[in-house]
Amino acid sequence: DMARPDIMLLMHTFVAEDAADAEQLTKDLSLFYCQFGAWFQNKKPVRQGILEALTDDEIAAMPQFAPDKIRQHLVIGEAEEVITRLKAYEALGYDQYSIWIDSGLPHERKKKSLQLFVNKVMPAFRHGRPQ
C-alpha cells in the first residue's frame, strides 16, 4: 500500500547551439568516456593527476564509447532535440531529471550548456505551473 516513489534519471546532458556544436560535444564526450574507461581499468599511467593521452588504437578498442554510441545513449543536441528526449523519458515514468555535467569540458562550455538548458529546455516542462 505504498505510494509510488518519485524516480529520477541522471544523464550526461549537453545543450548545443547548433548541429556543429552538438557534433563537437559528442566527440568530446566520446573521448572523455574513453579516458574514464582507461583510468577505471588502470590501463594508462597517471602522472600528477593527469592520465597519459590515449592513442588512436586505444580509442578504437573501446567501440562502446564511439561518437555514434555516445550520441545515441546520452542527451546531446540542440534544445528541441533535448526536449524531445526528455519528453520521452517523462512518458516512460521518470518524475525528475538530473543533469550530469562533469565531463572534462572547460567551465565556460559547461556554463553555456546550462544556460541553454535553463533558457530553452526548462520552459517546455512547466506543466501548468505558474510562470
Whole-number percent of the chain with pLDDT over 70: 97
Cut 0.95: pTM above it: no
Give residue 1's pLDDT band: very low, low, confident or very high (50, 70, 90). Answer: confident
Q: Is the pLDDT of residue 16 over 80?
A: yes
Angle (CA) 48-54-59 rounded to 5° is: 145
Whole-number percent of the chain with pLDDT over 90: 74
Q: Which of 83, 91, 85, 62 is nearest to 73 (CA)?
A: 85
Query: Residue 26 contacts by C-beta under 8 Å, 6 or more apart in sequence?
Result: 67, 70, 71, 76
Residue-wise pLDDT for 40-62, tens only, equals 888 788 888 888 889 999 999 99
Return the pLDDT at 51. Answer: 84
Give residue 131's pLDDT band: very low, low, confident or very high (50, 70, 90). Answer: very low
